[in-house]
């Protein structure tokens, strides 16, 4: 028996040693190579199944191009702006993050920077250590009873709110996705952006960088802030217009600004450096021992789960599938991929829509991975590098209308999966079940009942049901030197249209297809491969 190679993971950024420990404990090979240049990464990435990163490694389209074996990228942290997710999806690579492991730490950094601004701690420290003792220079402001404006009230923003309320601040938040119920639960006031800009004594940003949030603190919006406002950004560079912030600090409209993140990182130089009231840290938001242990453990567990069990947690481009669900769903996903592949091979690129129906026991399962598996089978007619990750994107790109239907009733089978495609001639459907809950079987093809395993090389034949046909078919295959494995037959009515699904031990070449087509009563011959 051939040995299955052990999956290999590359850790390409500085990461807590716990990550490598977990990979080894889970039976994976791991290399730790932080600080690689892009070319060095491209030169070695081809040998890895998994990549564990923080923010320094840039997983760009050309890095992905150099990684034919890569299956998963795991970000030990939250922001994935250093990963080209559309390119990863197109290549079938799962992208995961660890959305909670460093939230508390980052919220604490925002609070630390708020105190640093309120009491000018960095400048006071430099002055004092220079022997100046400038007690009168450093007059601060109290936080109690001040208004803190959160832009973004997700995981980190909510923790900042909680800590700020503990400091007896008033907290207002601008977040279009914050529900009034959640705001009430957090004890904060949901406001519009202009209201926040006008009212806040301190503003802290906690959104991802998107087309909607880029430059949310633009020159125009900075001008709407209260004179003397202090601004903190521990989220992403690019949320604030850095030139406009510099001007607002110089004019004294903004009393202080603390940035942990910059448009260009590493920020080795910036017009903001040296500006009075400006505080900078080098993207330290997540840099505590606790947070780094958390994210290292989480990312390693998630990557190891995926590579060893198929479990998918915190993925950004594929439906989640817990390590507990994965073994239960695996036979369904095999069945789904086979049915998708069957109908794709038979209908080619003419399909405009697909409906995926689950019935009986299958209806109680997470349907998203089943759908993705059907599409992975179906879309093989367009690309031979398709998998569950890129198939839904490919289907969308091709304008395929995908529908999911769930029937709680049980029909003839305790569990059934039906794939119906829309073609120029109408709807055509195939259905399958699991024997003994594990073995995928085709039970219906285009309205005809059959019972077949879809495996290896097969031939699909449509013929007129007439005596002697099976003998002639067997003879023709024998003359072509093709050995038959199994023979599965089905028909609408006696003497009507019949189908044969024949599994064979070797590839069916064009000459054999032609010989079968020449048999009396044969309407269609299509070699299949699973």
Which burial class, exposed, middle or buried, applies to 267 when counting CB atoms under 10 A from its CB (0-12, 13-18, 19+)? middle
- Say how far apart CA 152 and CA 208 lie, in whole Å: 8
Among residues 144, 56, 54, the alpha carbon closest in space to that of 101 is found at 54
Nearer to ligand NAI, 285 or 340 (CB): 285
Is residue 246 within the footprint of ligand NAI (CB under 6 A)?
no
**Active-site position among 21, 29, 32, 265:** 265
- 265 is a catalytic site residue: yes
Give how far Cα 224 sits from Cα of 75, 208, 227, 257, 289, Å. Answer: 36, 22, 9, 16, 39
Residue nearest to ligand NAI (CB): 154
Minimum Å gap between C-beta 20 and ligand AKG is 16
Is residue 75 within the footprint of ligand NAI (CB under 6 A)?
no
Identify any residues that bridge with 28 across adjacent strands, giving them in sequence order: none
Is residue 281 within the footprint of ligand NAI (CB under 6 A)?
no
DSSP class of residue 359?
E
Nearer to ligand AKG, 258 or 336 (CB): 258
Contact footprint for ligand AKG (CB under 6 A)? 54-55, 77-79, 102, 283, 285-287
Residues 6+ apart with CB under 8 A from 518: none
DSSP string for residues in 66-121 = T-TT--EEEESSS--TTB-HHHHHHTT-EEE--SSTTHHHHHHHHHHHHHHHHHTH
Nearer to ligand NAI, 173 or 378 (CB): 173
Is residue 256 within the footprint of ligand NAI (CB under 6 A)?
no
**Active-site position among 170, 236, 418, 441:** 236
- The structure tokens listed for 183 are 């705001």
Q: Where are the alpha helices (DSSP H) in 142-201?
A: 155-166, 180-186, 193-199
DSSP string for residues in 259-304 = ES--SSSS-S--TTTT-TTEEE-SS-TT-SHHHHHHHHHHHHHHHH
Binding mask 76-105 for ligand NAI (x = CB under 6 A): -xxx-------------------x--xx--
Out of ligand NAI, ligand AKG, none, what residue 440 binds, judged by CB under 5 to 8 A for its kind, is: none
Is residue 270 within the footprint of ligand NAI (CB under 6 A)?
no
Out of ligand NAI, ligand AKG, none, what residue 60 binds, judged by CB under 5 to 8 A for its kind, is: none
Q: Out of 190, 283, 338, 418, name the contact with ligand NAI by CB under 6 A.
A: 283
**Active-site position among 54, 283, 418, 441:** 283
Instruction: Report residue 38: phi and psi, to 5°.
Output: -60, -40
Nearer to ligand AKG, 233 or 463 (CB): 233
Nearer to ligand NAI, 83 or 244 (CB): 83
- 236 is a catalytic site residue: yes
Q: Which residues bind ligand NAI (CB under 6 A)?
A: 77-79, 99, 102-103, 106, 151-157, 174-177, 206-208, 210, 212-213, 234-236, 260-261, 283, 285-286
Active site residues: 236, 265, 283
């Amino acid at each position: 028996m051939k040995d299955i190679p052990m999956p290999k993971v590359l850790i390409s950024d500085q990461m807590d040693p716990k990550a490598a420990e977990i990979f080894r404990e889970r039976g994976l090979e791991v290399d730790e190579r932080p600080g690689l240049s892009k070319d060095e990464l491209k030169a070695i990435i081809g040998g890895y199944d998994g990549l564990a990163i923080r923010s320094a490694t840039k997983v760009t389209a050309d890095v992905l191009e150099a990684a034919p074996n890569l299956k998963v990228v795991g970000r030990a942290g939250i922001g994935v702006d250093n990963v080209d997710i559309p390119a990863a999806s197109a290549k079938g690579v799962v992208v995961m993050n660890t959305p909670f492991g460093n939230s508390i730490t980052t919220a604490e950094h925002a609070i630390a920077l708020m105190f640093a601004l309120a009491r000018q701690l960095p400048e006071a420290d430099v002055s004092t250590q220079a022997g100046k003792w400038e007690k009168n220079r450093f007059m601060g402001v109290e936080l109690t009873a001040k208004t803190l404006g959160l832009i973004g009230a997700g995981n980190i923003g909510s923790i900042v709110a909680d800590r700020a309320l503990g400091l007896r601040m008033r907290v207002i938040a601008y977040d279009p996705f914050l529900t009034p119920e959640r705001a009430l639960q957090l004890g904060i006031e949901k406001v519009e952006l202009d209201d926040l800009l006008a009212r806040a004594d301190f503003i802290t940003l906690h959104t991802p960088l998107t087309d909607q949030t880029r430059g949310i603190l633009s020159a125009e919006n900075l001008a709407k802030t209260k004179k003397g406002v202090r601004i903190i950004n521990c989220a992403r560079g690019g949320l604030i217009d850095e030139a406009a912030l510099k001007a607002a600090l110089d004019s004294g409209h903004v009393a202080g600004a603390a940035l942990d993140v910059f448009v260009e990182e590493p920020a080795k130089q910036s017009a903001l450096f040296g500006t009075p009231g400006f505080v900078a840290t080098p993207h330290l938001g997540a840099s505590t021992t606790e947070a780094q242990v958390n994210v290292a453990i989480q990312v390693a567990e998630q990557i190891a789960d995926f590579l060893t069990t198929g479990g998918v947690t915190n993925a950004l481009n594929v439906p989640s599938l817990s390590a507990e669900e994965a073994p239960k769903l695996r036979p369904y996903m095999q069945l789904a991929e086979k049915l998708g592949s069957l109908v794709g091979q038979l209908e080619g690129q003419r399909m405009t829509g697909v409906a995926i129906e689950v019935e009986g026991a299958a209806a109680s399962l997470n349907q998203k991975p089943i759908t993705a598996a059907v599409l992975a089978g179906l879309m093989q007619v367009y690309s031979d590098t398709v998998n569950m990750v890129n198939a839904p994107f490919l289907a969308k790109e091709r304008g395929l209308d995908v529908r999911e239907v769930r029937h709680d009733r049980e029909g003839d089978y305790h569990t059934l999966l039906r794939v119906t495609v829309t073609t120029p001639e109408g709807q055509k459907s195939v259905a399958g079940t699991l024997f003994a809950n594990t073995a995928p079987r085709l039970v219906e093809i285009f309205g005809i009942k059959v019972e077949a395993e879809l495996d290896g090389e097969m031939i699909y034949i449509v013929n007129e049901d007439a005596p002697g046909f099976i003998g002639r078919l067997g003879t023709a295959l024998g003359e072509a030197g093709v050995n038959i494995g199994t023979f599965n037959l089905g028909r609408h009515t006696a003497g009507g249209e019949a189908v044969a699904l024949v599994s064979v031990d070797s590839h069916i070449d064009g000459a054999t297809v032609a010989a079968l087509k020449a048999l009396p009563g044969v309407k269609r011959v299509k070699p299949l491969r699973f």
